[in-house]
């Protein structure tokens, strides 16, 4: 399979820009639902350091891209082809949640936050087949902020 099968074509920055905008809108809608189901408090971190913020932001961008490519490209498409839509979403989400639990995310946050977003992004990817439109960078940053 070629990258173009997942919407990664030249000029890639146009698709990425549309994806970033759609990602912000989708993340906001998703955040509203999660907040409604499980209210949380937002508070300023008194230990905030600009250099740490920059490093964490760059890491989040890189990890967001890696996660979207890893969990929502070839494997998701092939699982759908071989086993069907629902199995593809369920398997990708199960592996994604398990990886986050293994990485230290509490299981309830992994199920609610990581799991719900994984289902959402799997469906978006299967329906659009456009990886840059996933808005992975902004969505990943927002998800990480909720689970920390």
Of 56 and 102, which is predicted with more confidence? 102
Separation CA 135–CA 51 (nearest Å): 24
Statement: residue 19 has pLDDT above 60:
yes
CB of 132 closer than 8 Å to CB of 18? yes
pLDDT-derived band of residue 137, with 50, 70 and 90 as boundaries?
very low
> 93, 94, 89: which is closest to 127 by C-alpha?
89
Of 77 and 57, which is predicted with more confidence? 77
Separation CA 7–CA 143 (nearest Å): 23
pLDDT at 97: 93
Phi and psi torsions of 49, nearest 5°: -130, 125
Pair of tokens at residue 131: 């990886």
Domain boundaries, the chain: 7-39+48-147
Q: Which of 35-44, 70-79, 91-100, 112-121 has the lowest mean pLDDT?
A: 35-44
The whole-number average pLDDT for the span 107-117 is 87
Statement: residue 61 has pLDDT above 50:
yes
pLDDT-derived band of residue 60, with 50, 70 and 90 as boundaries?
confident
Sign of the dihedral through C-alpha 115, 117, 121, 124: positive
Statement: residue 139 has pLDDT above 70:
no
pLDDT at 106: 92
């Amino acid at each position: 399979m070629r990258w173009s099968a997942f919407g990664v074509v030249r000029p890639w920055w146009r698709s990425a820009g549309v994806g970033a905008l759609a990602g912000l809108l989708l993340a906001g809608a998703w955040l509203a639902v999660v907040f409604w189901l499980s209210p949380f408090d937002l508070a300023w971190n008194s230990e905030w350091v600009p250099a740490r913020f920059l490093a964490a932001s760059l890491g989040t961008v890189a990890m967001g891209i890696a996660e979207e490519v890893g969990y929502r490209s070839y494997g998701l498409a092939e699982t759908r082809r071989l086993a069907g839509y629902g199995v593809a979403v369920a398997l990708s989400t199960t592996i994604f949640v398990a990886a986050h639990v293994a990485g230290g995310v509490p299981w309830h946050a992994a199920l609610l936050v990581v799991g719900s977003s994984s289902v959402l992004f799997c469906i978006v990817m299967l329906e659009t087949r456009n990886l840059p439109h996933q808005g992975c960078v902004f969505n990943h940053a927002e998800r990480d902020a909720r689970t920390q």
